[in-house]
């Protein structure tokens, strides 16, 4: 059996609903004092003890959601328990979750048994009001250990029944591994990888937030390195065997998280001492992308001024194969940004792109990313209802509207946090997030070290281009009044196509190294940064930190936004990130990079995403070197993050016509990657329309 081929195929059909876990949790939860929050830990332990383990053929790394209930249980779920689950989730409150990485170093060095010992120390001296929190955490951790034991039992049973001696040995070893981790500290590379996945899978089961979670794995080329080096030196593992385990770990991400979201890890950068991270695992964890060819892991390569060139070369080579990862992150810029927000130096290097490009400190975050998204062109449309004495007055009206939106959105998100504080809890996750245990506070009650809210501002390039067009047509040449321009966009330029084409092709656009246009982008980001600094979310180290990326919101906002003065028709997606709008890069990739780096990125820790698309069909002998130089220029000029698609339009069109033959074709969208054939027709067309540079 081709292990990778068999298991990757399962990722396309896996049901990730988690129904059995939530059924067993709420069945027990309701039976204990009619759903009293005080019985959360008991219900979690019961569900973990009851849910069925699954070990698929060929698996070496295990832990996945059970898919089926008995007919009687399923009937009860449909009739009663499912609605109760939804009701409790609604009561627990809205907002974000799982855009973070837990403390994997602590997990691997202490094991759950060591964490339980740590909690026992806190319980011996803590005030009585904190005891309940610790008791819940202990019950949840013990439940994880019982569940791991059930996996060990199943592996032993399968080994007894197995006739193939190779697979029998694998299952025997798997059983032994599940007996040791995650309960005890990892002692081998295999144990470390299994422990990392198993606990990530378990913390993804959140009864008060019963939707798919998308936890990230932090920096595995750091925390897995000691185990890899020791096993390699002791002859206990080969490089090829280690690569297989990393590939299988990443396949598990695809079984855990459906497409359309994002889950992955980062490599490279600097460690806590400021030393460049560049080792065997750095390259192997990027090689995973080529090995399994799936939508996850979402890999970020953190590049410093001292990162060896071979890693960026490897990244570009992988991208040239038509992959959409790795994304390239500027470690120096991100570190500068984190320092500017008061993060201690030793923690500024230990961050994760919390799904797309949102930066959060590892092991210590309760950060709500993209909370919420703001439609920037819609603000301009709202302010086009009157005449203005000059262009500056129009800009002031837009800024005033924007400031009101920022304030209202902050108040709304902060109110959601208060609801979560009162009505929700997550004891298992709290065990792996600093400083919850030390403070005796659940993560939902403010126990995490960092409690940021990160609003994202979508369609910035559309706003810039639209304002520039209005400046020329209304305030400089005075060819039209604001009322006339408003009427034209409200009619979707009906009867005014010549003007729309003039706007699109004759009036300068952001992304073509035109200072007069490009300066508007920085003008608005500087204003947003300053405005966000006025607000302090609840809980310790609360900050409002902005971002300018979009996930899929550029398409969603586009469908509900009428035509805009930049020539964009009604319903068309907004710009797909922080770079130029689709098809407006007329002066080549270098001009696009120059425009995208004329404004400061470092305080936009919530995320900056610049998409670039290169024609695969036009690649020549020196193309990859040229692409690497473009990336290096972007980084040297202070660019935050760049994500690259190297595909050809013919392949994308063939995938539209015959989706079954291209079901694993992955493309970059607006900060994340997705299977092209699963995108909406509108989103597929938007990807096709992006400027494909030739190099």
Distance between CA atoms of residues 84 and 77, nearest Å: 9
How does pLDDT run across 439-471, given as a tens digit for each residue? 999 999 999 999 999 999 999 999 999 999 999
Tell me how far apart the alpha carbons of residues 664 and 655 are, in angstroms, rounded to a whole number. Answer: 10
User: Which residues share a beta bridge with 266?
Assistant: 300
Coil, strand or helix: which one is 375?
Answer: strand
pTM: 0.95
**pLDDT classification of 693: cutoffs 50, 70, 90:** low
Looking at residues 133-143, what average pLDDT do you find?
Answer: 97
**Higher pLDDT among residues 499 and 691, named by residue:** 499
Rg of the chain in Å (alpha carbons): 26
Do the beta carbons of residue 191 and residue 153 sit within 8 Å? no
Per-residue pLDDT averaged across 344-363, rounded?
95
Contact between residue 134 and residue 438 where contact means Cβ atoms under 8 Å apart: no
* Residue 424 tokens, joined: 């929700």
Going edge to edge, which strands form the sheet with 327-330? 264-268, 298-303, 327-330, 641-647, 610-615, 692-693
Task: Find the DSSP H helices in 127-164.
Answer: 128-161
Assess whether pLDDT exceeds 90 at residue 486.
yes
Q: How far is CA 235 from CA 168, 194, 324, 388, in A?
A: 22, 20, 35, 76
In the prediction, which pLDDT does 515 show? 97
Q: Where are the domains of the chain?
A: 1-213, 373-608
Q: Of the spans 259-268, 491-500, 650-659, which averages the highest pLDDT?
A: 491-500
What is the model's pLDDT at position 663? Answer: 83
Tens digits of residue pLDDT in 84-120: 999 999 999 999 999 999 999 999 999 999 999 999 9
Residue of 442, 539, 426, 433 lying closest to 101 (CA atoms) = 433
What pLDDT score was predicted for residue 692?
63
Q: How far apart are CA 424 and CA 443, in angstroms?
A: 9
Per-residue pLDDT, averaged over 394-404, amounts to: 98
Would you state the pLDDT for residue 613?
A: 83
Structure tokens at 128: 């009585």
Does the pLDDT at position 124 exceed 50?
yes
Q: What is the mean pLDDT of residues 468-478?
A: 98
Alpha helices in 304-445 (DSSP H): 309-320, 331-340, 345-348, 376-382, 391-423, 427-430, 436-439
Give the pLDDT confidence score for residue 671 in this predicted structure.
67
Tens digit of each residue's pLDDT (9 = 90 or more) over 186-242: 999 999 999 999 999 999 999 999 988 999 999 999 999 999 999 999 999 999 999
Rounded Cα–Cα distance for residues 545 and 453 (Å): 6
pLDDT confidence tier of residue 686, bands split at 50, 70 and 90:
confident
Question: Could you tell me if 253 and 355 are in contact, meaning their C-beta atoms sit under 8 angstroms apart?
Answer: no
Question: Of 53, 36, 72, 342, which Cα lies nearest the Cα of 201?
Answer: 53
Candidates 612, 391, 586; CA nearest to 506 is 586
CB-CB contact of 679 with 662 (8 Å):
no
Span 386-398, mean pLDDT? 98
Tokens of 251: 């396949």
Average pLDDT on 358-384 reads 97
Show Cβ contacts of residue 53 under 8 Å, excluding neighbours closer than 6 positions.
62, 66, 147, 150, 151, 153, 154
Q: How confident is the model at residue 694 (pLDDT cuts 50, 70, 90)?
A: low
Q: What is the mean pLDDT of residues 675-688?
A: 81
pLDDT in the model for residue 134: 97
The 10 Å Cβ neighbour count of residue 243 is 18
Question: What pLDDT band is residue 250 in, cutting at 50, 70 and 90?
Answer: very high
- Where does the pLDDT of residue 389 fall: very low under 50, low under 70, confident under 90, or very high at 90 and above? very high
- For residue 670, what pLDDT is reported? 66
The owner of tokens 């509108």 is: 682
Q: Has residue 385 got a pLDDT over 70?
A: yes
For the residues 594-614, what does the mean pLDDT come to?
94
Q: Which residue has the tokens 């929050």?
A: 37
416 or 211, which is more confident: 416
- Average pLDDT, whole number, for the chain? 94
Report CA dihedral (586, 591, 592, 596) to the nearest 10 degrees: -140
pLDDT tens digits, 175-191: 999 999 999 999 999 99
CB–CB of 102/433 below 8 Å? yes
Query: What is the enclosing helix (H) or strand (E) of 271?
Result: none
Confirm if 358 and 453 have CB atoms less than 8 A apart.
no
Helix (H) or strand (E) holding 452: none
Which is nearest to 670 in space by CA: 607, 609, 581, 586? 609
């Amino acid at each position: 059996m081709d292990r990778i081929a068999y298991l990757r195929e399962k990722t396309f059909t896996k049901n990730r609903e988690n129904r059995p876990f939530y059924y067993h949790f709420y069945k027990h939860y309701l039976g204990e004092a009619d759903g009293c929050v005080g019985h959360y830990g008991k219900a979690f332990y019961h569900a973990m003890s009851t849910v069925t383990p699954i070990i698929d053929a060929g698996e070496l790394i295990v832990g996945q959601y059970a898919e089926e209930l008995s007919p009687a249980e399923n009937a009860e779920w449909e009739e009663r328990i499912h609605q109760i689950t939804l009701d409790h989730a609604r009561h627990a409150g809205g907002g974000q979750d799982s855009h973070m990485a837990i403390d994997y170093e602590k997990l691997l060095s202490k094991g759950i048994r060591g964490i339980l010992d740590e909690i026992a120390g806190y319980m011996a001296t803590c005030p009585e009001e904190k005891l309940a929190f610790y008791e819940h955490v202990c019950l949840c951790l013990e439940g994880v250990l019982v569940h791991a034991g059930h996996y060990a039992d199943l592996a032993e049973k399968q080994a007894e029944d197995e006739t193939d001696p190779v697979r029998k040995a694998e299952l025997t070893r798997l059983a032994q591994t599940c007996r040791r981790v995650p309960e005890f500290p990892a002692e081998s590379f295999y144990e470390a990888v299994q422990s990392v996945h198993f606990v990530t899978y378990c913390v993804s089961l959140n009864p008060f937030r019963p939707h798919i979670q998308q936890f990230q794995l932090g920096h595995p080329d750091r925390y897995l390195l000691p185990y890899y080096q020791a096993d390699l030196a002791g002859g206990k593992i080969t490089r090829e065997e280690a690569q297989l385990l990393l590939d299988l770990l990443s396949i598990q991400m695809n079984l855990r998280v459906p497409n359309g979201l994002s889950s992955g890890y980062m490599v490279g950068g600097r460690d806590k001492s400021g030393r460049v991270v560049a080792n065997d695992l750095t390259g192997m964890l990027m090689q995973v992308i080529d090995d399994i060819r799936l939508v996850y892991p979402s890999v970020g390569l953190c590049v410093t001024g001292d990162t060896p060139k071979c890693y960026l070369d490897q990244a570009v080579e992988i991208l040239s194969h038509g992959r959409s990862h790795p994304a390239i992150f500027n470690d120096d810029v991100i570190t500068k940004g984190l320092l500017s927000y008061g993060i201690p130096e030793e923690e500024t290097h230990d961050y994760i792109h919390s799904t797309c490009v949102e930066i959060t400190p590892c092991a210590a975050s309760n950060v709500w990313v993209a909370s919420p998204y703001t439609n920037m062109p819609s603000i301009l449309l709202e302010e086009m209802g009157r005449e203005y004495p000059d262009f500056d007055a129009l800009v002031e009206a837009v800024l005033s509207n924007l400031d009101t939106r920022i304030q209202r959105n902050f108040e709304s998100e902060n109110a959601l946090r208060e609801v979560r504080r009162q009505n929700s809890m997550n004891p298992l996750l709290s065990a792996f997030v600093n400083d919850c245990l030390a403070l005796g506070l659940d993560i939902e009650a403010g126990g995490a070290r960092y409690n940021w809210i990160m609003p994202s501002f979508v369609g910035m390039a559309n706003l810039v281009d639209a304002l520039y067009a209005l400046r020329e047509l209304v305030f400089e040449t005075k060819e039209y009044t604001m009322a006339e321009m408003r009427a034209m966009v409200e009619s979707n330029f009906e009867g005014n196509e010549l003007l729309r084409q003039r706007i699109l092709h004759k009036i300068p656009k952001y992304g073509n190294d035109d200072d007069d246009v490009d300066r508007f982008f920085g003008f608005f980001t500087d204003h947003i940064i300053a405005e966000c600094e006025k607000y302090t979310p609840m809980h310790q180290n609360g900050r409002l930190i902005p971002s300018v990326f979009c996930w899929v919101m550029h398409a969603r906002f586009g469908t509900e936004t009428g035509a805009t003065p930049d020539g964009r028709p009604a319903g068309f997606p907004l710009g797909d990130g922080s770079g130029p709008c689709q098809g407006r890069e007329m002066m080549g990739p270098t001009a696009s990079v120059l425009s995208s780096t004329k404004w400061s990125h470092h305080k936009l820790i919530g995320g900056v995403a610049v998409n670039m698309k290169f024609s695969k069909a036009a690649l020549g002998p020196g193309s990859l070197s040229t692409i690497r130089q473009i990336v290096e220029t972007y980084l040297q000029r202070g660019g935050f993050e760049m994500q690259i698609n190297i595909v050809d339009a013919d392949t994308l069109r063939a995938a539209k016509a015959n989706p079954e033959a291209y079901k694993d074709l992955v493309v970059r969208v607006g900060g994340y990657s997705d299977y092209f054939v699963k995108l909406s027709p509108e989103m597929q067309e938007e990807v096709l329309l992006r400027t494909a540079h030739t190099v």
